[in-house]
C-alpha cells in the first residue's frame, strides 16, 4: 500500500511507517502493562499513560479511516485488503460491513500483524545466517521458480522454505503466550482448574518442552518435513494458538512471511554477526535491540 500511504497521508513512506510504529508501540505497551498489573486503576481515572494510549489509538483510527475513504473515492488504489472489506457482505443478511467496523478491522491488522511478522522474518533470517547450508537449500528451491516475481500461487512449491519458517516460529513464536477462559472444570498437572478461570498458555514453553520435542533448542527444519508432520500432536505446534479462537490472520501471516522470506533469500545472502537473538515481550515477542548481519547480493 505504498501509493495509498503517500496519497492519503502526504508523508514519505519511511516517515509514515515511523509515525505508525510509534503509535502502535504506545498503544500495545499500555495494553500489555495494564493486562499484567495485579492491581489496575479504574478505566475512568485520567492518567498520563492512558491519555497517551488513547491519543495513539485515535491517531491510528484516523490513518485507517483515511485509507478507507481514499479507497472508496478511488477503487483503483492498490489496497486489496481494504477493497475486500468494502466488498464483503453478510451471507445471511446481505449487509455490508459498517465503516466503523472496517476501520477497526484495519487497525487490528496493523496492531496484530506488524511486530509479529517482523519478529518471524527477523528470527528466520538470523537463524539462516547461522546455517548457510540450510540457507543455500532455501535459495536453490526458490531458484527453481525462475526470475519472475514470486506470487502466492508459488507457496505450494516452496515446501522447504515453509519448513524453515515453521521451525523459526517454533523457536521464536511472535506470541509467547495466550490467555484462555476455562469453559468447564478440569484438572491440569494435578491442579484443579475451575470453570471461568483465566488460563495462560505458554506457547514459548510448549515449543521448547523437551518432553515433546527432541533436542528442542536445536534448529532443525526437518521436524516439519511432510513425514514428520504426520507424527506431531495437534497441540504440539501452536504459533497461532488453536481452537475456535485461533489467530484470525494465520493464513495471511503464513502467506506473507513465506513470500517475503523467499524474496529476500533469492536476492541476498545473510551472514549473522550476533550469536544470540535477545527478545523482549512488551505485548508480542520482539527483538530486543538491533540484530546485526552482513548482507550481500546473491550470485
**DSSP code per residue over 2-15:** HHHHHHHH-S-HHH
Same domain, 49 and 158: no
Same domain, 244 and 120: yes
Same domain, 106 and 130: no
pLDDT at 284: 82
Please give the residue that has the higher pLDDT: either 171 or 63: 171
pLDDT at 13: 41
Q: Which of 67, 85, 111 is the last residue of a domain?
A: 111
Burial environment of residue 148 by CB neighbours within 10 A (0 to 12, 13 to 18, 19 or more):
exposed
Report pTM: 0.78
Please give the residue that has the higher pLDDT: either 55 or 12: 55
Q: Which of 111, 130, 158 is the last residue of a domain?
A: 111
User: pLDDT over 70 for what percent of the chain?
Assistant: 93
Same domain, 139 and 219: yes
Same domain, 172 and 202: yes
Q: Which of 96, 111, 126 is the last residue of a domain?
A: 111
Please give the residue that has the higher pLDDT: either 83 or 12: 83
Same domain, 49 and 26: yes
3-state secondary structure 155-196: HHHCHHHHHHHHHHHHHCCCCCCEEEECCCCEEECCEEECCC
Catalytic residue (one of 64, 116, 161, 285): 116
Same domain, 128 and 93: no
Please give the residue that has the higher pLDDT: either 284 or 2: 284
CATH code of 212's domain: 1.10.630.10
> pLDDT tier at 274 (50, 70, 90 boundaries)?
very high
pLDDT in tens, 26-53: 877 777 777 667 677 888 888 898 899 8
Report d(CA 72, CA 143) in Å as an integer. 39
Active site residue 240: yes
Cell 516439519 found at: 224
Same domain, 146 and 230: yes
Report d(CA 7, CA 5) in Å as an integer. 6
Q: List all residues 6 or more positions away from 121 whose beta carbon is below 8 Å from its beta carbon.
A: 257, 260, 261, 264
Same domain, 144 and 266: yes
Report d(CA 85, CA 109) in Å as an integer. 12
Q: List all residues 6 or more positions away from 92 whose beta carbon is below 8 Å from its beta carbon.
A: none
Active site residue 283: no
pLDDT in tens, 204-214: 999 999 999 99
- Strand, coil or helix: 123: helix
Active site residue 116: yes
Q: Name the domain count of the chain.
A: 2
Same domain, 104 and 130: no
Same domain, 287 and 180: yes
pLDDT at 189: 86
Catalytic residue (one of 224, 240, 283, 285): 240
pLDDT in tens, 201-249: 999 999 999 999 999 999 999 999 999 999 999 999 999 998 888 888 8
Same domain, 287 and 156: yes
Catalytic residue (one of 71, 247, 283, 285): 247
Q: List all residues 6 or more positions away from 169 whose beta carbon is below 8 Å from its beta carbon.
A: 120, 237, 239
Say if residue 20's pLDDT is above 60: yes
DSSP secondary structure string for all residues of 237-259: --BTB-GGGS-TTHHHHHHHHHH
Domain span at 77 = 2-111
The three grid cell numbers given for residue 258, joined into one nine-digit string = 513465506
Closest CA to 175 of 117, 236, 216, 105: 117
Amino acid at each position: 500500500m505504498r501509493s495509498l500511504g503517500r496519497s492519503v497521508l502526504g508523508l514519505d513512506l519511511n516517515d509514515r511507517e515511523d509515525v505508525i510504529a510509534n503509535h502502535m508501540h504506545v498503544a500495545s505497551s499500555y495494553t500489555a502493562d495494564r493486562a499484567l498489573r495485579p492491581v489496575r486503576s479504574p478505566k475512568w481515572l485520567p492518567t498520563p499513560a492512558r491519555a497517551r494510549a488513547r491519543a495513539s489509538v485515535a491517531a491510528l483510527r484516523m490513518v485507517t479511516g483515511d485509507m478507507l475513504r481514499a479507497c472508496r473515492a478511488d477503487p483503483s488504489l492498490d489496497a486489496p485488503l481494504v477493497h475486500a472489506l468494502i466488498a464483503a457482505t453478510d451471507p445471511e443478511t446481505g449487509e455490508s460491513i459498517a465503516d466503523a467496523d472496517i476501520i477497526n478491522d484495519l487497525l487490528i491488522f496493523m496492531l496484530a500483524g506488524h511486530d509479529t511478522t517482523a519478529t518471524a522474518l527477523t528470527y528466520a533470517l538470523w537463524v539462516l545466517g547461522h546455517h548457510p547450508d540450510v540457507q543455500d537449500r532455501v535459495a536453490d528451491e526458490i531458484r527453481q521458480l525462475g526470475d519472475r516475481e514470486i506470487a502466492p500461487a508459488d507457496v505450494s512449491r516452496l515446501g522447504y522454505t515453509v519448513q524453515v519458517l515453521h521451525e523459526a516460529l517454533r523457536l521464536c513464536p511472535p506470541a509467547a503466550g495466550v490467555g484462555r477462559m476455562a469453559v468447564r472444570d478440569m484438572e491440569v498437572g494435578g491442579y484443579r482448574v475451575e470453570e471461568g478461570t483465566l488460563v495462560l498458555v505458554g506457547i514459548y514453553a510448549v515449543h521448547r518442552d523437551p518432553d515433546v520435542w527432541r533436542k528442542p533448542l536445536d534448529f532443525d527444519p526437518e521436524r516439519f518435513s511432510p513425514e514428520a508432520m504426520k507424527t506431531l500432536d495437534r497441540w504440539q505446534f501452536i504459533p497461532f494458538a488453536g481452537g475456535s479462537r485461533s489467530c484470525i490472520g494465520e493464513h495471511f501471516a503464513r502467506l506473507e512471511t513465506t513470500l517475503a522470506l523467499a524474496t529476500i533469500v533469492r536476492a541476498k545472502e545473510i551472514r549473522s554477526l550476533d550469536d544470540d537473538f535477545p527478545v523482549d515481550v512488551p505485548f508480542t515477542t520482539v527483538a530486543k535491540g538491533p540484530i546485526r548481519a552482513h548482507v550481500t547480493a546473491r550470485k
